[in-house]
Structure 1
Amino acid sequence: MNVQVIMRDGEAEYAVLPWVEYQALLQEAGRTAGAQPPQAAETLPRFAHLAELRQRRGLSVEELARAVGISPAYLQLIEEGQRDPGDAIRYGLARALGINGWEESA
């Protein structure tokens, strides 16, 4: 078995193994193996498409900015790629646009 152990503060915290081997372990344990791995973060929309996502939902810059709690000017800077949103803004954008997963990986 090909297992990678991730350590933190000298203690084993995670074990990572190939998907096929994970599936085999599930089968041996009597559990139903999943057909496919969880969706990768790469399938999430990128912040480069923020303006398009906002427009598709029929929101103005002012409406989305108000929902997130930032100024419209700052939202435009994010849409133009001139600013990288922090965690709180990322969470607010994800919530306002209904995009699960942006909080962690965008």
Structure 2
Amino acid sequence: MTVQIISRDGEPEYAVLPWGEYQALMQAAGRQEHAEPAAAQPVNALKPSLEQLQALREAKGLSPEALARSVGISPHYLAMIERGERRPDAAILRSLAWTLGLEGWS
């Protein structure tokens, strides 16, 4: 069986395996699954825009300092992102999405 383990903070959180192996595992467990996974919505339809960053941060109850610290940037840089003066790189976008519990930005 080919399994990929995804960890968070050093602890295993998810196991990913090929669809055929998943079906075989479910069948062995006595559960019948659908033949194909359900079609997902387009990723862009699920993502809020970066212009909503301040509102998303406030909805989570995070101060600018707390969000900046968790992402690894300065509060000043976060303020420039929230005002639309800077476009963060992909790593910062992923970290912001992770911290805010979003699907992600690219």
Identity %: 47
- TM-score normalised by L of structure 1: 0.61
AA of the residue aligned to 1:99 = L
Deviation at 1:91, TM superposition (A): 1.2
In the alignment, what sits opposite 2:102?
Answer: 99
| SS of alignment partner, residue 48 of structure 1 | helix
Among 77, 81, 100, the residue aligned to 1:78 = 81
Which aligned segments of 4 or more residues in structure 1 are displaced greater than 3 angstroms?
31-35
Please, which runs of 5 or more residues in structure 1 have no aligned partner? 1-30
In the alignment, what sits opposite 1:65?
Answer: 68
- TM-score normalised by L of structure 2: 0.61
Please, which runs of 5 or more residues in structure 2 have no aligned partner? 1-33
The change in CA–CA distance for 1:38 and 1:63 in structure 2 (over 3 A counts) is same
Checking the alignment, whether the CA contact within 8 Å between 2:98 and 2:104 is kept in structure 1 is no
Q: What is the distance in 1 between the residues matched to 2:71 and 2:104? A: 16
Q: What is the distance in 1 between the residues matched to 2:102 and 2:95? A: 10
| C-alpha RMSD over aligned residues | 1.6
